[in-house]
């Protein structure tokens, strides 16, 4: 009887240990799982899960994969280009479906006069980490800037880039000019903001709307 009890106790103990170890493993890998789930939930879900406007502080709360607020940033009043918003973040219009494209990962700021050459500036302080000076791929001529708190931004379809690798930049600095390179249907800037390299809605970080174009674009 004692032997049977001992065998039963050992089996029970082993089962409990396995459950505990499995639970610990799930907890340890939860952030990775959370990111994978968020990344597959669509760009709109990603945006709301990783960044949100705090109604009390009026700052953007930056969250980790578990939804915990880890930092807050001020809203920006400096839009990267002049023009009007021609395509919003998360858009899945007929044009995109016909081209086999997914939801829009940024916002497009178009020139209402169809002109190229308007200046482009970063929406917040950062460091230039990539410059593509040639018309390659869907993004065309573009610049990528790394900001604090794991935020980065991408500026696509430029007519030319003026920023240099590792350059420290701030709002007001010209990093390039509006164009129509890459997969573009007309002169505009594709402005994309990423958190942990996952696209989030740029409007979360911006105040108001971009300034309208001037009739004569500068180059």
Q: Give 10-residue mean pLDDT values along the chain (219 residues).
A: 44 42 39 40 67 93 90 96 89 66 85 93 98 94 97 97 98 97 92 93 94 68
Residues 135 and 194 in one domain: yes
Contact 141, 135 (CB under 8 A): yes
Number of domains in the chain: 2
The pLDDT of residue 80:
98
Residues 180 and 81 in one domain: yes
Residues 22 and 112 in one domain: no
In a domain, residue 65? The reply is no
Handedness of CA 171, 219, 81, 180 (dihedral sign): negative
Residues 112 and 174 in one domain: yes
In a domain, residue 47? The reply is no
- The residues near 105 (Cβ < 8 Å, ≥ 6 apart) are 43, 89, 192, 199
Residues 181 and 82 in one domain: yes
d(CA 150, CA 21): 32
Residue-range definition of the domain harbouring residue 182: 77-205
The pLDDT of residue 44:
63
CATH of the domain at 118: 2.70.70.10
Residues 194 and 100 in one domain: yes
- Strand-pairing partners, residue 132, are 142
Residues 83 and 167 in one domain: yes
In a domain, residue 48? The reply is no
In a domain, residue 51? The reply is no
- The residues near 55 (Cβ < 8 Å, ≥ 6 apart) are none
In a domain, residue 46? The reply is no
Residues 152 and 104 in one domain: yes
Residues 32 and 84 in one domain: no
Query: pTM for this one?
Result: 0.76
Residue whose C-alpha is closest to residue 103's, from 31, 46, 54? 46
The pLDDT of residue 67:
86
In a domain, residue 141? The reply is yes
In a domain, residue 27? The reply is yes
Residues 84 and 149 in one domain: yes
The pLDDT of residue 6:
44
Task: Provide the CB-side half-sphere exposure for 1 (13 A, CA).
Answer: 0
Handedness of CA 66, 29, 129, 140 (dihedral sign): negative
In a domain, residue 215? The reply is no
The CA–CA distances, whole Å, from 47 to 3, 41, 199, 208 equal: 59, 10, 7, 18
The pLDDT of residue 38:
40
Residues 30 and 85 in one domain: no
């Amino acid at each position: 009887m004692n032997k049977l009890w001992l065998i039963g106790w050992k089996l029970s103990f082993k089962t409990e240990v396995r459950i505990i170890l499995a639970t610990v493993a799930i907890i340890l890998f939860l952030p990775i799982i959370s990111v994978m789930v968020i990344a597959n939930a669509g760009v709109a879900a990603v945006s709301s899960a990783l960044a949100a406007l705090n109604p009390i502080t009026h700052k953007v709360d930056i969250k980790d994969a578990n939804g915990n607020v880890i930092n807050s940033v001020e809203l920006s009043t400096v839009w990267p280009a002049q023009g009007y918003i021609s395509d919003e973040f998360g858009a899945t219009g007929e044009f995109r479906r016909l081209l086999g494209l997914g939801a829009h990962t940024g916002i497009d700021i178009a020139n209402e006069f169809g002109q190229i050459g308007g200046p482009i500036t970063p929406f917040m302080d950062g460091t230039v980490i990539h410059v593509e000076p040639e018309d390659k791929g869907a993004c065309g001529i573009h610049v990528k800037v790394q900001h604090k708190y794991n935020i980065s931004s991408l500026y696509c379809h430029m007519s030319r880039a003026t920023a240099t690798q590792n350059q420290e930049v701030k709002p007001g600095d010209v990093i390039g000019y509006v164009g129509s390179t890459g997969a573009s249907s007309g002169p505009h800037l594709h402005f994309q903001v990423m958190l942990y390299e996952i696209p989030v809605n740029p409007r979360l970080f911006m105040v108001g709307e971009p300034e309208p174009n001037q009739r004569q674009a500068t180059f």
